[in-house]
Amino acid sequence: MEMKMIIVLRRILSNEEDMISELPEALLLKILSLIPTKDAFATSVLSRRWRFLCKMMPNLRFRYERRDDLKRFSDNVCRCLLSHQAPVLQSLHLTMIFKRGSMDMGVMNRIMGVAFGLRVRELELGVYSGVPSGGEYDRYRFPTSLLNCGTLESLKLDFGVLVDVPFPVCLRALRTLSLYGVSFKDDGSVVNLLSGCSILENLEVMLYPHSDSEVKTLTIAVPSLQRLKLYSDSQDNDYFLTYVINAPSLKHLEIVGLTENDSCLIESTPELVEARIDDVCGVVYENIHGSLTSVKRLFLEIASPLDLTKFPTDRIFNQLVNLELTTDEPEWWNLFIFMLDSSPNLQVLKLINKYSRERDQLLACKRWSQPNYVPQCLVNCLETLVWENYQGEIEDEREVAQYILRNASRLETATFSKTYIHPEKRLEWLKELESVVTASNSCQLVFK
């Protein structure tokens, strides 16, 4: 549908037909929003009505490339913004790609000042520049004066932006904040920024930690926060970062990529219903495990072995009904059994093989040892089993699968899948699974 609209608009610009001008104003504004803003403003030459429509566009998107004339680009953007006549500027997306060492702070501040003067509601800013001879990236210092905007509801800052907030700010309407690859001046800048977001509900932070960063502790203390995503992509083994999360209203949590150089402390999260712990080292997970016991849905990918003796045995996941667990780490079944023991009301279990393990990896691992008891959830609750990329040629995986089928007395469906498998091999594995005497008489076994 969107492509058809764009084709029709191109016909207008080439003067082949003008039937679209008779469409309702709301639809025309929708059409204009599907193309770059500079092209949309080119339609103003068609008629007075099109000139009016260009000034009423609620969503504007501009992109500066390093080969463009910066002054001309700045003048055009400011002209478009200053001619804007809609009651509010719903969104502004601005991408700036500079040659290394050529970032112009004055131009950036001018555009930002005009946009905030229009009471923008959603701002997305990405700044990119090459590495100059000195070895450090140019970074745009986001104006602190703009962090007291009463209309801004969503703010996304990408990469070459420096957040330096020496004192508390006030973003009283901000509900969504996304920080991708930005740099913070220091620990206090994080605290001062977030403390000014009194109704913030959604926060995403992606960091690229490095040893010369001034931030050592990332403190997220937001009483209103409901959804949090933390991503770390540290390539520097000499950098250590501590995450402190204090969000009593938090409902959804995602943590990705934390390594043994990181630490994480999560304070009380009684409202938490869903958590995704993805590619996180065992030491970090050991520290946050006890803070996740209220969840109903949990995804776990632990990137290194766990010391399960450190886990408190009284921390029970009474609310957990849906568990997803990756099976790529050696001896993954230890965490598997531990979680079954800790989740008496589990209904859905999904096991995921992301990578095929090599033979030497398998030989180096201890073998699966079937427990001499059956977890309560297998006997009373488990209804659905899904095993993605099941490796039936691995004896340990076959034994785990058979253990579940033999003991899950309420199991309704068991679905196994394998990518790139010969049909004969699939049939062989299916017959092997079907030969297991299942605890559930009504279980439907599927192999995709």
For the chain, what are the domain ranges?
A: 1-57, 59-200, 316-358+373-448
Quote the CA–CA distance of 407 and 310 in Å, as a whole number.
28
Confidence of residue 423 (pLDDT cuts 50, 70, 90): confident
For residue 264, is pLDDT > 60?
yes
Top-ranked range on mean pLDDT: pick from 190-194, 258-262, 311-315: 190-194
CA distance 209 to 31: 41
Contacts 24+ apart (CB under 8 A), 152-156: 152/116, 152/120, 152/121, 152/122, 152/123, 153/121, 153/122, 154/91, 154/121, 154/122, 154/123, 155/122, 155/123, 156/123, 156/124, 156/125, 156/180
The runs of H, that is alpha helices, within 183-315 are 187-195, 282-288
Q: Where are the alpha helices (DSSP H) in 118-253?
A: 187-195
**Quick one: which of 144, 147, 210, 151 has its CA closest to 183?**
210
Task: Find how far residue 399's CA is from the centre of its chain.
Answer: 35
CA distance 235 to 45: 51
* Per-residue pLDDT, 1: 41
What are the residues facing 97 on neighbouring strands? 128
Token pair listed for 44: 């103003």
More confident residue, 249 or 67: 249
pLDDT value for 200: 98
For 123-171, the pLDDT digits (tens) are 999 998 866 555 566 788 999 888 999 999 999 999 889 899 999 999 9
Q: Cα separation of 228 and 205, whole Å?
A: 8
Q: What percent of the chain has pLDDT over 90?
A: 47
Place of tokens 């997305």: 124
The pLDDT-based confidence of 45 (bands split at 50, 70, 90) is low
- Contact (Cβ atoms closer than 8 angstroms) between residue 13 and residue 35: no
The region of weakest confidence among 61-75, 100-114, 207-221, 278-292 is: 207-221
Average pLDDT on 215-229 reads 95
Q: Which of 30-34, 51-55, 131-135, 207-211 has the lowest mean pLDDT?
A: 131-135
Residue 254 pairs in a beta bridge with: 229, 276
- Whether the pLDDT of residue 4 is over 90: the answer is no
What six digits make up the tokens of 47?
């008629």
Flag the least confident range among 37-41, 97-101, 195-199, 291-295. 37-41
Residue 399 in this model has a pLDDT that exceeds 90:
yes
pLDDT digits (tens, 9 = 90+) for 180-221: 988 899 999 999 999 999 999 999 999 876 545 678 899 999
- Rounded to whole angstroms, how far apart are CA atoms 18 and 171? 44
pLDDT at 85: 83
